[in-house]
Every structure is written in structure tokens, then in C-alpha cells.
């Protein structure tokens, strides 16, 4: 799922000074799964934000709504009335949903209530960890189903750096396993350690965010 995390309330307060009526919108999909922008989080954030604005000397009225999917135009269209009455919109969906709202209601300022952070899995209750970096050149077939692009701090393609801790965790985060240690373990378990010896050439990043904005065109779906 796409994960997001609340921005500091003070940052939201900074955006909202001068506005009196604000629409706070969540999304019931990814950001609900990662407990940042679903209905429950919207209902939690609304009074917190109202109180913070009150304490800041800028009381506001907050109207809230949670869309089924904030990245789909028909759902975003359903809040036209509330959007028209609001002086500003705060969205706690991912950056994709936020931009669709901003485009749809372009006359109304849109402020982010979250930072969109990763493509992660819910590993345990309350713990999400990276799985994908949308690099556009998937190597999982060479790395035993474990992604070194998203899960190695240096996105190394040819094995672990010297920073693997004695307990097999990554030097820069003691709670993150060295993914190359896990790749080596899985390769060893399959009796295929030798497959990791081949030198992997530099990656083609042109199909990743580093290559510029993505434009995926499927002619077969356009007629």
C-alpha cells in the first residue's frame, strides 16, 4: 500500500491561518490501511486541528468527509458541495489523491495533512516497512523475491556493503534487516548462492521517478 504519516499539527496550523471554514478529507483506501487518512483518522484529526487553531487564535470550522478512493474522479466529484463552501481543503490522502482534489477544485487552496512516504506492507500491527520503490525495472526475479532497491539503504545490486551489523541488521537502522543478508540466506536455502556471483550491470533508472514524470500510455485501452 501507499503509506502516509501525519504532518506536524503546527505545520497544518501554519497553512490554515486566515481561513475560517475548512474541509478535511480522508481516503478509505491505502491511507486508511496505514492508519493515517481513513475515516477514523479524519475524525481524530478534526478536533485536534480545531483545538490547535483555537489555541493559535484562529478558530476555524472544520467539515470532514472520507472518500472511498480519493484518486478516482467520481468519488472526488461527490464532495463538490462541501468544497464549494470551504475556504480551504486539507487532505490526508496520498499525494495522488491530494492532486486530484486540487485539480478538481482548483479555486480552493489544498493543503497536505500528511506526508506520503512509501510503498510498504503492514508487517505487524502498527508496523509498516518498505517493499517497493517503483523503480520501473524489477529485479525480484534475480534477488529471490526480496527487493534491494527499496530495502537496501544504498540500493546496492551486487550484495551487502560493509555496514551489516553483527546481528545481520543494517548499519543505519538497527531495526531494519540487511536485505542482502536475507537474499543470501534465501539463496543459500535454495542451494543457489552461486546465482548471486554474477556481476549485475548498472541499473536503468529511466523508468523510475529519477527518470522524470511517468506517462504510461496503453493504446489498446484508448479506443
Partner 1 sequence: MSLKAGTKLEKVLAAGQFALTAEIGPPRGPDTEEVLKKAEILKGMADAYNVTDNQTAVVRMSSIAGSKLLLDAGLEPVAQMTCRDRNRIAMQSDLLGAAALGLKNILAISGDHQQAGASGKLKGHPGAKGVYDVDSIQLINIIKNMRDDGVQAGGDTLSAKPAFFIGAAWTPLGPPVEFRVLRLAKKVAAGADFIQTQAVYDIKAFGEQLKKAVDMGLTEKTAILPGIIVPRSAGMLRYMHNNVPGVVVPDELIARMKDAADPAAEGLKVTVELIEQVKELDGVKGVHLQAIEAEELLPDIIKQAGLSPRPEV
Point out which residues bind partner 1 (CB under 8 A): 153-168, 171-172, 178, 180-181, 184-185, 188, 193, 196-197, 199-203, 205
Smallest separation (angstroms) from partner 1 to the CB of 199: 5
How far apart (Å, rounded) are the C-alpha atoms in residues 90 and 112?
A: 6
How far apart (Å, rounded) are the C-alpha atoms in residues 187 and 218?
A: 36
How far apart (Å, rounded) are the C-alpha atoms in residues 161 and 164?
A: 7
Smallest separation (angstroms) from partner 1 to the CB of 131: 18
β-sheet bridge partners, residue 29: none
- Nearer CB in complex with partner 1: 104/117: 117
- Nearer CB in complex with partner 1: 13/156: 156
Cell of 7: 504532518
Smallest separation (angstroms) from partner 1 to the CB of 20: 35
- Nearer CB in complex with partner 1: 1/157: 157
- Nearer CB in complex with partner 1: 58/176: 176
- Nearer CB in complex with partner 1: 151/181: 181
150 in Cβ contact with 130 (< 8 Å): yes
Cell of 148: 534491494
Cell of 189: 536455502
Smallest separation (angstroms) from partner 1 to the CB of 166: 7
- Nearer CB in complex with partner 1: 46/156: 156
Please measure the distance between the N-terminal and C-terminal CA atoms of the chain and give it in whole angstroms.
30
- Nearer CB in complex with partner 1: 125/202: 202
**CB-based burial of residue 77 (10 Å sphere; 0-12 exposed, 13-18 middle, 19+ buried)?**
exposed
Cell of 58: 484562529
Smallest separation (angstroms) from partner 1 to the CB of 173: 8
139 in Cβ contact with 147 (< 8 Å): yes
Three-state secondary structure readout of 83-146: HHHCCEEEECCCHHHHHHHHHHCCCCCEEECEEEEEEEEEEECCEEEEEECCCCCCCCCCCCCC
Amino acid at each position: 500500500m501507499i503509506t502516509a504519516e501525519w504532518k506536524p499539527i503546527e505545520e497544518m496550523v501554519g497553512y490554515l491561518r486566515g481561513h475560517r471554514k475548512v474541509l478535511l478529507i480522508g481516503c478509505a483506501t491505502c491511507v486508511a490501511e496505514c492508519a493515517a487518512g481513513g475515516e477514523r483518522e479524519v475524525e481524530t484529526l478534526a478536533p485536534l486541528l480545531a483545538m490547535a487553531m483555537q489555541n493559535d487564535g484562529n478558530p476555524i470550522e472544520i467539515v470532514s468527509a472520507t472518500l472511498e478512493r480519493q484518486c478516482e474522479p467520481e468519488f472526488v466529484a461527490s464532495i463538490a458541495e462541501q468544497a464549494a463552501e470551504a475556504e480551504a481543503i486539507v487532505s490526508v490522502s496520498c499525494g495522488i489523491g491530494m492532486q486530484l482534489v486540487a485539480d478538481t477544485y482548483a479555486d480552493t487552496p489544498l493543503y497536505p495533512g500528511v506526508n506520503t512516504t512509501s510503498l510498504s506492507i503492514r508487517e505487524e500491527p502498527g508496523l509498516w516497512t518498505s517493499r517497493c520503490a517503483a523503480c520501473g525495472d524489477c529485479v525480484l526475479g534475480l534477488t529471490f523475491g526480496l527487493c534491494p532497491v527499496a530495502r537496501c539503504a544504498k540500493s546496492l545490486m551486487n550484495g551487502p556493503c560493509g555496514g551489516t551489523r553483527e546481528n545481520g541488521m543494517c548499519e543505519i537502522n538497527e531495526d531494519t534487516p540487511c536485505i542482502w543478508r536475507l537474499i543470501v540466506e534465501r539463496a543459500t536455502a535454495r542451494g543457489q548462492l552461486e546465482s548471486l556471483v554474477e556481476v549485475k550491470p548498472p541499473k536503468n533508472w529511466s523508468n523510475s521517478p529519477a527518470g522524470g514524470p511517468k506517462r504510461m500510455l496503453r493504446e489498446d485501452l484508448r479506443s
